[in-house]
Structure 1
């Protein structure tokens, strides 16, 4: 009987030991299966330019340059023009202090190309925007969008900050060097923040 008692005690001891609370190691947290999608959108950069009369003209207006997703859109609204074709260019300096607009310097041409029509394979200045038409009341709107400009990016071949926008009395012939023989500068505005 002594052996049965000892066996019963041993089994009770084993049973009791197995019933003790086990300390479980915490399971590793599951890796999240969803990946958070982040959509990067560029904040719009905008510069508004007031165009002042030059060369005794009455041409005024404004231009807005807006950069979004690597492209710059220009919208210029002008008044006081003679009916017909006029040239619009970007020039080297944001200085419109001279009465004839000459303080703005020549066409903005950071890549050393010949003067020409925008997009022409023979070459063109980054400031060679082109021609537009003014109506019989002297109003005109000019729109342009390009990835060849930027606003404040610091790339000397693309950055339009520190340049000026010039409206000319006549049309650009796209061949005369260095500026297209477009006539007097009748309006000027510096592209500055």
Structure 2
């Protein structure tokens, strides 16, 4: 037992001189995370294409009831209705009634094949901007001393769409021998001296 003491002392001395336990190795720092890529923003959907307005229609006017009328009309659909531009020559000076009639037929010599005024709403006859009127009431075209005249008017509520109940398509423009005075039932405008079919 006595001999063991020096060995114990040596062991304690070695332990004392051995120094502290080395620190554990440092862990490597984690690599910096790259920022996540942004997802592309969804593209805006294109606006729905608006339905284009129908192309303007050119109408050739034919002389009726033995007149010498000549001319043409242009009808163009706008946001406000149908713009009608009517130009004629070869008739007597003064106002002459003009209307859109229900049938696109100018085959008869007196123009009566075009039927009655175009009146889908079943209203009484009137002037174009009156509170009550036929949709086909265009008013009067004023003819100068040289026999020529022009009428420009936009008819609200009308269109040029095929098959629509308010469409001027496949109907006829009639010019009358006298003034449309707004009276009943159709304006007292007399015979039909010009007719043109509204067609594509």
Same-fold status (TM-score > 0.5)? yes
TM-score computed with the length of structure 1 as normaliser: 0.82
**How many angstroms apart in 1 are the aligned matches of 2:181 and 2:142?**
14
- The Cα of 1:59 is off from its aligned counterpart by 0.5
Equivalent of residue 27 in structure 1, options 32, 35, 38: 38
Paired residue for 1:49? Answer: 59
- The Cα of 1:147 is off from its aligned counterpart by 2.6
Structure 2 residues not aligned, in runs of 5+: 1-18
**How many angstroms apart in 2 are the aligned matches of 1:3 and 1:28?**
52
**How many angstroms apart in 2 are the aligned matches of 1:30 and 1:62?**
55
The 5-angstrom pairing of residues 41-190 of structure 1 reads 42-43=52-53, 45-121=55-131, 123-152=132-161, 154-156=163-165, 158-177=166-185, 179-190=186-197
**How many angstroms apart in 2 are the aligned matches of 1:180 and 1:92?**
16
CA deviation profile, 1:136-176 (whole Å, cap 9, x unmatched): 110000000133210116430x2110110000000112113
* Residues 54 and 160, structure 2, Cα contact 8 Å, conserved in 1: no
CA deviation profile, 1:96-147 (whole Å, cap 9, x unmatched): 00011010001111101111222223x2111111112111110000000133
Q: How many residues align?
A: 182
* Residues 82 and 155, structure 2, Cα contact 8 Å, conserved in 1: yes
Structure 1 residues not aligned, in runs of 5+: none
**Coordinate RMSD, CA, aligned:** 2.8
